[in-house]
Amino acid sequence: MTALHKKVQTLGELKESGWESIPVKEEIRRNLIDKMKNGDTLFPGVLGYDYSVIPQIQHALLARHDLVLLGLRGQAKTKILRMMVSFLDEYLPIVAESEINDDPFNPLSKYARDLIEEKGDDTPIEWIHRSQRYGEKLATPDTTVADLIGDIDPIKAASKRLTLGDENVINFGLIPRVNRGLFVINELPDLQPRIQVALLNIMQERDIQIRGFNVRIPLDVSMAFSANPEDYTNRGNIITPLKDRIDSQIITHYPRELSTGMEITDQEAWIEREGEVQVRIPGIMREIIEQVAFEARDSEYIDQKSGVSTRVTISAMEEVISSSERRAISNGESSATVRVSDLYHMVPALTGKLELVYEGEQEGAQNVAYYVIGKAVDTIFKRHFTAPKRKSSEEDQVYGDIMSWFANGNTIDIDDQLKEADYRKALDLVKGLKDLVENQVDADDEAEIFILMELVLEALHQNSMLGKEDLDQKRSYKDMVGSMLGSIDDMDDYGDMEDDE
């Protein structure tokens, strides 16, 4: 069929070519079947849906259904809908210059009917690419029936000296302009109910009626929608008659496995940067970044009805890489490895994307962000290391040497901007820390060993075995008892200040 578009230019040539016109949903079904037989990937780059969403979409398209993807933010709904255009034929013949992609064998518009009546087999044919047969509209409260369906255009009537009763003065809306194609409406519940009513005829009778004309135009359009369940209660809803006419409702979801989420983040985030600094991200750091989203989706401080988008970890990954990049540039180094301290620089990527419940608002967006990062650190740490714990009054012997070093009054300061050599020197001071890492984890290289050493300290803090003090871009780890006594001293100082007053 691809070769035809290069040589068939008139209606007569199209008839002789043997080309047949079929409904768009039958065309989608036929091409889907061909792709399935060939073992083609139906939705390249869409991960985690192989046994859930994608089979349901296949079932809907094979049944020639209109469909809606229902799911929370950041679940690839729009991406999937836009990729459905690949199920259309690469090229399609239309009556040349037709506004609604008139089928040469079954013209709908007055323009196309008049042209074929005038020129017959010499009617010029135009071939349009599948990308021109896709239309999309983000549902907004100001969307009108004229936007979607069409209206009378008095300017066209005046310029062509036509009466308002002439069909040629119709200005077709977005949906008729993708006749014989695929039209998508995103965030359907945001569409005003009275505008949703205008879609009822398209969904059932497959036709439209333009205001002022006692004529119906039978369209051939495959319709698809996306919607967020939150919208049903917070901003709007899909009217019942329209829901009844949408044949298939398919529920999307977030990645169910950490590995799937990591694949999505690696695919979508800007990781490979062409710059002076090469940033390396150890596998365990990737796990922690992804686990942040999983912790957020399970947090009592975050509104689960709003969801936690996959865009959270994509932005977080980019922020963490930038933190490492900035440190290397500042220190004149050509490479950097993501450190635990870099993880906390993802906070700006979280605070704008996490919708908090009342308890979360009370804690504050930044504190909630720090909390979920800490939870992620602890969860992933325990998958690779022996879980830190207390045995009555004495520390677990696995971490005994480390805890003893801090109990002797030692502290360690880790500045975000430490040069690599100084960073390693500081961590090497902690007795037993490097030995523990080497005994429990197979690190890829020396650089990763030191990253894991810092991770141990942070995990001990998350398990209330070490105190930590954050001062601007520096973190100080110290004995828990000493940290508590320091806090009491600060309170005493504050009391002294009140007495002075």
- Per DSSP, 122 falls in state G
- Angle, vertex CA 144, rays to CA 141 and CA 149, nearest 5: 140
On the 0-12 / 13-18 / 19+ scale of CB atoms within 10 A, 6 is exposed
Backbone φ and ψ for 235, nearest 5 degrees, come out as -120, -35
Range of the domain at 409: 385-501
- Give CA–CA dist 405/410, Å, rounded: 6
Backbone φ and ψ for 356, nearest 5 degrees, come out as -95, 145
> Residue length, the chain?
501
- pLDDT tens-place string over residues 400-444: 999 999 999 999 999 999 999 999 999 999 999 999 999 999 988
* pLDDT for residue 482: 57
Q: What is the count of structural domains for the chain?
A: 3
* pLDDT for residue 495: 43
How many CA atoms does the CB half-sphere of 272 hold within 13 Å? Answer: 3
Do residues 142 and 239 share a domain? yes
Banded model confidence at residue 204, pLDDT cuts 50, 70, 90: confident
295 has pLDDT over 50: yes
500 has pLDDT over 70: no
Q: What is the mean pLDDT of residues 360-383?
A: 95
CATH label of the domain that carries residue 324: 1.10.8
342 has pLDDT over 80: yes
Q: For residue 53, which of 77, 37, 29 has the smallest C-alpha distance?
A: 77
- How many other CB atoms are found less than 10 A from the CB of residue 86? 18
Q: What is the mean pLDDT of residues 126-148?
A: 94
- pLDDT tens-place string over residues 60-103: 999 999 999 999 999 999 999 999 999 999 999 999 999 999 99
Cross-strand partners of 390: 395
Pick the last residue of a domain from 193, 217, 251.
Answer: 251
* pLDDT for residue 58: 98
Do residues 97 and 237 share a domain? yes
Q: Tokens 């043997």 label which residue? A: 18
* pLDDT for residue 131: 96
Do residues 288 and 194 share a domain? no
Pairing relation of β-strands 181-186 and 134-138?
Answer: parallel
- Helix spans in 221-257 (H): 231-234, 240-245
Instruction: Give the tokens for residue 464.
Output: 């209330």
Do residues 216 and 129 share a domain? yes
3-state secondary structure 17-77: HCCCCCCHHHHHHHHHHHHHHHCCCCCCCCCCCCCCHHHHHHHHHHCCCCEEEECCCCCCH
Do residues 371 and 392 share a domain? no
Least confident of 156-165, 234-243, 282-291, 447-456: 156-165
Is 423 or 163 the better-scoring residue by pLDDT? 423
Do residues 187 and 305 share a domain? no
How many CA atoms does the CB half-sphere of 387 hold within 13 Å? Answer: 7
**105: which residues sit within 8 A by CB, 6+ positions away?**
14, 21
How many CA atoms does the CB half-sphere of 195 hold within 13 Å? Answer: 21
Cross-strand partners of 69: 226, 250
- Helix spans in 441-479 (H): 446-462
Least confident of 65-74, 100-109, 169-178: 169-178
- The amino acid occupying position 462 is Q
319 has pLDDT over 80: yes
Least confident of 78-92, 169-183, 379-393: 379-393
494 has pLDDT over 70: no
226 has pLDDT over 60: yes
Backbone φ and ψ for 140, nearest 5 degrees, come out as -130, 155
Do residues 285 and 336 share a domain? yes
* pLDDT for residue 426: 96
Would you call 402 helix, strand, or coil by DSSP? helix
- Helix spans in 210-310 (H): 231-234, 240-245, 258-268, 283-296
Pick the last residue of a domain from 219, 251, 283.
Answer: 251
Do residues 27 and 141 share a domain? yes
Do residues 38 and 134 share a domain? yes
Do residues 393 and 378 share a domain? no
Q: What is the mean pLDDT of residues 295-300?
A: 96
Banded model confidence at residue 214, pLDDT cuts 50, 70, 90: low
CATH label of the domain that carries residue 178: 3.40.50.300
How many CA atoms does the CB half-sphere of 47 hold within 13 Å? Answer: 16
46 has pLDDT over 70: yes
Mean model confidence pLDDT for the chain: 90
Banded model confidence at residue 197, pLDDT cuts 50, 70, 90: very high
* pLDDT for residue 484: 53
Do residues 392 and 344 share a domain? no
CB 442 within 8 A of CB 385: no
Do residues 79 and 171 share a domain? yes
Pick the last residue of a domain from 336, 366, 384.
Answer: 384
Q: What is the mean pLDDT of residues 238-256?
A: 95
